[in-house]
A and B are shown apart, each in its own frame.
Chain A
Amino acid sequence: MANPDAQGVTGAPFRLDVERGKIREFALATGAADAAYLREENPVVQPTFLTTTFFWQGEDSNPWSAVELDQQRGLHAEQQYTFFGEPPRAGTRLTCQSRIGEIYTKVGRRGGEMTFAVMYTDFHDETGRLVARAKLTGVETARPPVTGDATQDGASA
């Protein structure tokens, strides 16, 4: 069961250097046909590239564990990236910070209470401008996901 007191828990700021080689690797792993990602000196990041916070965010900067969603029943329900202008380009040094947002419950389509939790991550560039925001929505289902069930509510978190 999620911990409702987790709302507002904020991680330590962390750094993410947007790198050309990483953008290239991401383009090759995600079927990008637009050569701009491969050829430009300073390409923009792909719409989902900021998921690479995996490489930069440590335990002290990732407050998600405070939500205490059951690992066996936890799923990644939604993910959103908002860009306040052009996405950051290779060479940009981002300062990032995550915080736990709303935690709420809903009754699922097949009954049973589902608990949702949101984590926001803000990305600021070297000038301090907010350039992007990520919103992760996790859900804890009422029962463990059923193997091979095509109508389940999410992919593994």
Chain B
Amino acid sequence: MSDTATAQPRTTGVGLPVPATPPARAYGPVTRTDFVRYQGASGDMNPIHHDEVFARAAGFPSPFSVGMWQASLLGTYATDWLGGPNVRDFRIRFLAQVWPGDVLTFEGVPLRTYVLESEDGREGRVDIELTCRRQTGDTAVTAWATFVLPLDASVGDATPEAGEQPETTEEQG
């Protein structure tokens, strides 16, 4: 299926500095308004996600969320962490439905870092795994993503910025 089958990029496992993993992000209790807003933004107007009568007629207790909504929340959790322009791959697996009133928890963990060498040059990469869990403990969505780690900037990022004060004890008076 690939258009770039001729030159396979080479990857070399290398320990690269990764921006600190953000704390788990909680969202909710989720509402029908959340679903509708996402449906409007995405263009997926399947009534099963907002029409109570339709959802019940289909055998569900209520409308349930669009899987792509919680997947997209995982996406922005990841871009807030590693930078929107750096994303190169985002693969989502849908596992369980999300219902109005659910409280979701979004978490991520780096899996590995490496250098990718291709015709375009060398590029640092990090693969991460992302999870969206319901308050019941069920995993609703798992995603695997790849982000670029800027090789040059990564050194600069590790040092405090000029003007940033080291932590000191509070001054009195």
Contact = CB atoms under 8 A, between A and B. Distances in A.
Interface of A: 22, 25-34, 36-37, 43-44, 46-48, 51-55, 75-87, 101, 120, 130, 144, 147-148, 150-156
A79 B68 contact: yes
Nearest to A120: B1
15 contacts: A26-B42, A29-B40, A32-B76, A37-B76, A43-B84, A47-B90, A48-B68, A51-B44, A55-B43, A76-B94, A78-B94, A79-B92, A81-B91, A147-B59, A155-B94
Contacts of A120: 1
Contact of B73 (A30, A86, A151, A153): A30
B93 A25 contact: no
B85 interface: yes
B72 A48 contact: yes
A150 B96 contact: yes
Contact of A30 (B69, B83, B98, B138): B69
Nearest to A79: B92
Interface in B87-107: 87-98
Given A55-B43, A156-B64, A46 B72 contact: yes
Closest 7 CB pairs of A and B: A54-B43, A155-B67, A32-B76, A29-B41, A47-B75, A47-B90, A30-B72
Contacts of A154: 67, 94-95
A80 B41 contact: no
Interface in B14-73: 25, 27, 37-38, 40-46, 48-49, 59-61, 64-69, 71-73
Given A34-B79, A155-B97, A81 B73 contact: no
B165 interface: no
Contacts of B170: none
B61 A75 contact: no
B78 interface: yes
Candidate in B38, B60, B87, B145 with the most chain A CB atoms within 10 angstroms: B87
B39 to A, nearest CB: 9
B152 interface: no
A25 B97 contact: no
A101 B41 contact: no
Contacts of A144: 59
Given A30-B41, A47-B79, A87-B85, A147 B61 contact: yes
